[in-house]
Amino acid sequence: MLQHPENPTNTFSNIVEATKPWLRGRTISGVLILVGHLAFAYHFVLMLLKFGRADGVGPTLLAKPESAAEASS
Amino acid sequence: MPGDAADALERAQVDASCRVPVMLFFASAVFWLVVGTLFGLIASYKLHNPLFIIELSPWLSSLLEKFSPAGTVELINASLTFGRIRPAHLNAVAYGWAAPVGLGVAVWLMARLCRVPLRFPLLVSAAGVLWNIGMFVGIGVLLSGGSTSIEWLEFPPFVSFILFLSFALISIWAVDMFVHRKPGHVYVSQWYIMAALFWFPWLYGTANMLIQLIPAQGSVQAIVNWWYGHNALGLWFTPLGLAAAYYMIPKVIGRPVYSYYLSAFGFWALALFYSWNGGHHLIGGPLPAWLITSSIVASVMMVIPVVVTAINHHMTMKGNFQVLRYSPTLRFVVFGAMSYTLASLQGSSMAFRDLNTVTHFTHYTIGHSHLGLYAFYTMIMFGCIYYIVPRLLGREWVSARLIKIHFWTCAYGIVAMVLILSVGGVIQG
């Protein structure tokens, strides 16, 4: 696929065709990001609707911290 | 401990004053983020499947024609063509998501760091509503084909004016907090926010003046265009992202920034070098050689503030990397700070004429812009939202699992996107 930029036999349509698989890949990564944004937006709306925890247990963490003193966010 | 109680009361007053405007900025930003992502996805799909949506029309149109006035199908098809949906994506994510979320974070950080409540929160909220009215009108104009076709300034002048007015109303009250700050040390985040609040109106005002109102002619217009385009990233989004990173990283791990001297040095080096970078977008263009060459030099000089900031953040984090395992805020912010280093060094390399010959006008550049505005700026802003919202609402995030899904889909998504576009871009070039 890689050709010298000044190679006259490398047509413009050939270059455009060569980008297609990569553009499909971008769409797939875009879908992944959209999924993340939808999860985030849903979570944000839950917070707006006051579904957030108010039980005083402390911040929502992704895993258990090794020492309790470290848990500030 | 009466001192601690007084501090807690002060923080509660500061947070209460910011609650309405900052949550309004965040909520509208999240809305435009989702809309902008959808626009981007449609634009991306259309590049490898140009008949997307139009191909759907046989069954869609028969459905739509029954329930809507004649011409609706054509209108939708026209609105979603690449030439309209692509600027709609850029403007929705840049002016709908990135700017308001940055303003929300800036207002909150400013109030917390100056230790004064935000005055006139309702006025600031009204400005936020005005900004979103501008956004709806602007995106409507873009989808109906009214783009000015000048990148980063696609909105028509009257929409830019609405945004400018709204920005002025917001930034005045952020600067006002700085003027009335409690005595004490001025933190590096405050410098970056103050700088951003003064740089953006100067950039946006000048660019709109010289491109829309009294248009500069010929190739000079391109210089103004990229002076604005690159500075919007370098002197507006970047300082806000760095201000947030400089606040969140030390705050979450509970120790001071590694070096005050490096913070100051990084700030002034950024202020000195970033404003010249726009010219590297025009390498090979019909412009004076000295202009482009000086811009390339300044682009490479950007290595200095970037490396200085990277060292400062890394040394602050050193010994505390285990916190990334459980703190959502820190995980997003550190991902963003690392991406800042990568995006900036990649940007400096792209200014070299040799590499630029290959990558200019290819998808490689798109990969670079997503590494900057998404992997750096947006990820840091996600981290800030995870930190600030519980403090404003007095409630904690509902689910750690949702945060994990958010982080890993976005992290894998953006890394994949940047790699794919970079390889595809080089092949294309």
Q: What is the reported pLDDT for B173?
A: 94
pLDDT of A1 over the 80 cut = no
Distance from CA of B197 to the nearest CA of A (A): 27
Cα separation, B182 vs B184, whole angstroms: 6
**Which chain B residue is nearest to residue A64, measuring alpha carbons?**
B326
At position B89, the amino acid (one-letter code) is H
| Of A6 and B310, more confident | B310
What CATH topology corresponds to B226-429? Answer: Cytochrome C Oxidase; Chain A (1.20.210)
Task: With CB atoms and an 8 Å threshold, state whether A53 touches B396.
Answer: yes
pLDDT at B1: 47
| Residues of B in Cβ contact (< 8 Å) with A31 | 41, 413
Per-residue pLDDT tens for A13-37? Answer: 888 899 999 999 999 999 999 999 9
A68 and B CB contact within 8 Å? no
Nearest residue, CB atoms, A26 vs list B23, B44, B390: B44
Indicate yes or no: CB of B413 within 8 angstroms of CB of A30. Answer: yes
How far is Cα B202 from Cα B231, in angstroms, rounded to an integer?
Answer: 10
pLDDT along chain B (429 residues), means of 10: 81 94 97 97 92 72 74 83 95 97 97 94 96 97 93 94 96 94 93 96 94 89 94 95 96 93 95 92 92 94 96 95 94 96 94 91 94 96 97 94 96 95 91
Partner B contacted by A33 (CB < 8 A)? yes
Q: Alpha-carbon distance B77 to B60, whole Å?
A: 11
Tokens of B42: 């449609």
Does the beta carbon of A5 lie under 8 angstroms from any beta carbon of chain B? yes
Q: Looking at chain B, which residue has its C-alpha nearest residue A24?
A: B48
What ipTM does this complex have? 0.92
| Cα pseudo-dihedral B324, B330, B335, B339, rounded to 10 | -140
Which chain A residues are Cβ-neighbours of B403 within 8 angstroms?
Answer: 43, 60, 62
Taking alpha carbons only, the member of B44, B195, B174 closest to residue B119 is B174
Contact A40 B382 (CB under 8 A): yes
Q: Which chain A residues touch B408 with a CB distance below 8 Å? A: 36
* A17 touching B (Cβ < 8 Å): no
Query: Is the Cβ pair A73, B23 closer than 8 Å?
Result: no
Q: Are B389 and B249 in contact (CB under 8 A)?
A: no
Whether residues A36 and B405 touch (CB distance < 8 A) is answered with yes
- Put simply, the answer to whether A73 touches B33 (Cβ < 8 Å) is no
**Which residue out of B38, B48, B418 would a mutagenesis test of the A interface target, given it has the greatest number of A Cβ atoms within 10 Å?**
B48
Residue A5: per-residue pLDDT: 61
Q: How many Cα atoms within 13 Å fall on the side-chain side of residue B218?
A: 3
**Shortest CA gap A11–chain B (Å):** 11
Same fold, B1-184 and B226-429: yes
Confirm or reject CATH 3.40.30.10 for domain B1-184, answering yes or no.
no
Give residue for tokens 């002619």: B217
If one compares B361 and A67, the residue with the highest pLDDT of the two is B361
Where exactly are the structural domains of chain B?
A: 1-184, 226-429
Separation in Å, CA A12 to CA A6, A8, B225, B425: 12, 10, 28, 14
Task: List CB contacts (< 8 A) between B395 and chain A.
Answer: 47, 50-54
| B326–A62 CB contact, under 8 Å | yes
Between the two ends of chain B, the Cα-to-Cα distance in Å is: 65
Name chain B contacts of A12, Cβ cutoff 8 Å: none
**A18, A32, A53 member nearest B409 (Cβ):** A32
B-chain residues near A1 (CB < 8 A): 427
Q: State the CB neighbour count (10 A cutoff) for residue A66.
A: 12
**Torsion B32-B35-B41-B46 (CA) sign:** negative
Position A4 scores a pLDDT of 66
Phi-psi label, residue B197: left if phi above 0, alpha if psi -120 to 50, beta otherwise: alpha
Whether the CB of A13 is below 8 Å from some CB of chain B: the reply is no
CA-to-CA dists, residue B181 to B80, B112, B124, B178, B429, angstroms = 48, 10, 18, 5, 52
Count CB pairs under 8 A between chains A and B: 186
Distance, first Cα to last Cα, chain A: 49
Say how many C-beta atoms besides its own lie within 10 A of residue B184's C-beta. 9
Q: Read off the pTM.
A: 0.93
Q: CB B395 to CB A34 under 8 A? A: no
Dihedral angle, C-alpha B43, B44, B46, B49, nearest 10 °: -170
Q: Pick the closest to residue B100 from B150, B203, B200, B25 (CA basis).
A: B25
Q: What is the largest CA-CA distance in chain B?
A: 72
